[in-house]
Amino acid sequence: QQPVQSPQAVILREGEDAVINCSSSKALYSVHWYRQKHGEAPVFLMILLKGGEQKGHDKISASFNEKKQQSSLYLTASQLSYSGTYFCGTEIRAAGNKLTFGGGTRVLVKP
């Protein structure tokens, strides 16, 4: 079942922060985050495997609340390069990277 992402879109000014949420109706084994720029392939940001685990990538970090079956991606002090569509991908069990992706969140960072 497809995880639900919110918001669907967000517009930021450079330097502002944003949070993207990814919720599942089922217990999760892992949550992956990817960013896709227009006309390009999705690019891996990070993976979270344990409940409560937080990971970071530059000023982009994420948390995984296993109990709530959700993950959040934090864009801190956003840069123009953060613009793109962010997808969470989930596994409900160890399935060798077979991911179900959320609907995506479009992020536009303006100067």
CA distance linking residue 104 with residue 51, whole number of Å:
22
Inter-residue contact 31 to 51 (CB < 8 Å):
no
Q: Which is nearer to other proteins, 16 or 63 (CB)?
A: 63
> Which residue from 9, 77, 94, 108 is in contact with other proteins, where contact means CB under 8 A?
94
Tell me how long the chain is.
Answer: 111
> Which residue from 35, 91, 107, 109 is in contact with other proteins, where contact means CB under 8 A?
91
Establish if 100 lies at the interface with other proteins (CB under 8 A). Answer: yes
Q: How far is the CB of 24 from other proteins (least distance, A)?
A: 14
Please say whether the dihedral angle defined by the alpha carbons of residues 111, 62, 100 and 26, taken in this order, is positive or negative. negative
> Which residue from 37, 50, 98, 110 is in contact with other proteins, where contact means CB under 8 A?
98
CA distance linking residue 75 with residue 15, whole number of Å:
10
Within 16-55, which residues bind other proteins (CB under 8 A)?
29-30, 32, 34, 40-44, 47, 49
CA distance linking residue 81 with residue 35, whole number of Å:
11
Residues lying near other proteins in the complex (CB under 8 A) are found at: 2, 29-30, 32, 34, 40-44, 47, 49, 87, 89, 91, 94-104
